[in-house]
Chain A
């Protein structure tokens, strides 16, 4: 049983105007792609992907969105938060050639992944895309790593205009990879799935997001059609054989009540 742990916030790093990384000193023992359920015991409890994890500490990179995150952003170093986890599946590490494709605010868990992959001996090319320069997070961290780092924005403020999917398509056409890892907004990932259909032999893993309530596989809120697998247990990282079968992917998700909400295209 993974017990709940209450810890003071050890460090807060401002990534941009609306994104901060909160660090806690604790040996979480998580794999890249896994998440924790974080709570202030005041305004709710939410799942967050782990953006950094060592034997000594872990980090959660969080965007200010609603009541819960607003309350979190008012906290200082030393204030207590409680969490349970780590939960869910993690990325499979390789020691060959890896292509990592990130979009927008879904990029931070790819930092944790990159660190793990480098340790495993992988050769990494990482594409980081966002709408605008300000939304490109973790740029410095990625630039400091021993990997081939490419960034791109819709507006082209960093030299080139386009999406991470554009760059990934070009790279896939010219190179052979042992594994492709993707984490981004759902519609970006859907575009990526279409690109990857042209390479039927290629292994890939996607990091998904769905509304999670219990985090431990019993409430059924985060099951994905038509497989019925629970994103909090069988996911949030899903491999190609599963991703290809998902019919709700890019189409709809279910809200906290379980009512279907369709993605706006």
Chain B
């Protein structure tokens, strides 16, 4: 058992998403406790996060490891959900770049930093219409909704989504954070978002703060 988990850790530490996925599938097939698999992976991603903190590893390594981790995690989480148990995560974040905007990198980095800090991240991709955000909120019931917009012409979509959530009466069910080059704290305040960050590495800190505020 520990051999498979070691291989899975190794896959994350060497940024090998295919190996991570295959090993996770194998671990499930062999009936290893999904919780133990997740613990092993968390240990590996922490090592990567520590390396980043110490300035020894950089974004390409962090994103590579988070990507490998996400691939394996989705397989293990499915198994946990099948058994009717809950996945043990700090919180769930639904994330996407708003409609009309196809900038992907910043959002991908935010995802990597959140994954590395043990958040469950549902990434809806880029050019996401408001109704897709709503659907995901209803399906995953996240604590946090994270909206990315890079252009002055698309930041108004962030406002639009908040307005739609208000109209549907579900605005207060979650915290909303925004980011992207054209946004600012001032804009976040104006549109009634709960948080703003200018830099991806600071996203987990912001999310944790919002979760403790409840």
Say whether A and B bind each other. no
* Chain A interface residues toward B at CB < 8 A: none
